[in-house]
Amino acid sequence: MGNSIVFTLRGPWRVPIQFDASLLVLAVLFAMLYIDRGIGTAAIAFAMIVLAILMHELGHAAACVAQNVPVRRVVLFGGGGFCEHDARVTPYQTEFIAIAGPLVNLALWAVASLILPLTITPSEPVLINGTWLTPPQGQSEITRQLTLFARLNLFLTLFNLVPVLPLDGGRLLHSWLHRFFRGITATKIAGGVGVVLAVAWVPLMFAAFFTFGVVLLYFPNIMLHWRMLRSGQG
């Protein structure tokens, strides 16, 4: 992926943040999804998903920094992002690093949800045939965008906790299993869970689209999880 990096900036803790050319594919996808709402709405929606992913990966980076784990870079690409850090980490460090990203998205969802009611202007009651009626509240553009941002972050929280590799949930499951089983046994169990979820992924894609309005560009590596199940090796 290094040859497709089009832009690099220096982020917090002097961590390089790199933007991959495949983000253009994601931009085109958002433009197609929001074509009926205008290019401005599509651009804002794209900016929000990039911001949510960036904050997620910076959450991982912050957990690394807090544990003195060197961070090489953060990369954003069309399918999401990743935080590349030193591979020499303990299972406990791995758990903290893995959970930090979803926790950041959960916090963003909570903040956006708390602010959301403040953007809604109450409708004024009107007198109709001697009865005061309150018309339905209309949604402003700010309300709609903030709602979308909240939903995106909630989706990223839940999506990244799905226990398949290389998602955070898969890393958490694999690390957590090592507390109770030998290395090979833990890997085989994690592989079995991954195989089952990979088979069920298509229904999950439809559920994500109809619940959150999000199109999944990720599909679990069923062969990786099958090797883990068969041989106990990742």
Centre a 10 Å sphere on the Cβ of residue 125 and count the other Cβ atoms it contains: 11
User: Which pLDDT value is given to residue 2?
Assistant: 52
pLDDT of residue 1: 57
Q: Position 60: which residue type?
A: H
Q: What are phi and psi of 52, to 5 degrees?
A: -65, -40
The 3-state DSSP composition of the chain as helix, strand, coil percent (nearest 5) reads: 60, 15, 25
Report the pLDDT value the prediction gives residue 122, as an integer from 0 to 100.
60
Cα–Cα distance for residue pair 199/178, rounded to 1 Å: 25
Query: pLDDT tens digits, residue range 18-47?
Result: 999 988 888 888 788 777 777 887 888 889
- Whole-angstrom Cα distance, residue 120 to residue 34? 23
The letter for the amino acid at 45 is A
Alpha-carbon torsion, ordered 110, 113, 114, 120, to 10 deg: 170
What's the pLDDT tens digit per position in 125-144? Answer: 555 666 655 555 556 778 88
Beta-bridged to residue 132, according to DSSP, are 127
Over 70: is that where the pLDDT of 173 sits? yes
* Residue 182 identity (one-letter amino acid): R
User: Alpha-carbon distance 52 to 56, whole Å?
Assistant: 6
Using pLDDT thresholds of 50, 70 and 90, give the confidence band for residue 204: confident
For residue 59, give the 3-state DSSP assignment.
Answer: helix
pLDDT digits (tens, 9 = 90+) for 80-120: 899 999 988 888 899 999 999 999 999 999 999 999 888 77
- Please count the other Cβ atoms lying within 10 Å of the Cβ belonging to residue 138: 9
- Per the prediction, the chain carries an average pLDDT of 85
Q: Judging by DSSP bridges, how do beta strands 71-77 and 16-20 pair with one another?
A: parallel
Are 115 and 96 spatial neighbours (Cβ–Cβ below 8 Å)?
Answer: no
Give the sheet arrangement for strand 5-10, strand by strand. 5-10, 16-20, 71-77, 80-85
Count Cα atoms within 13 angstroms, Cβ side, for 213.
12
Band (pLDDT 50/70/90 cuts) for residue 172 is very high
| Predicted confidence (pLDDT) per residue in 140-163, tens digit | 778 888 888 999 899 899 989 999
Between CA 79 and CA 33 the distance in angstroms is 16
Q: What is the pLDDT of residues 178-197, one digit of tens each?
A: 888 877 888 899 999 989 98
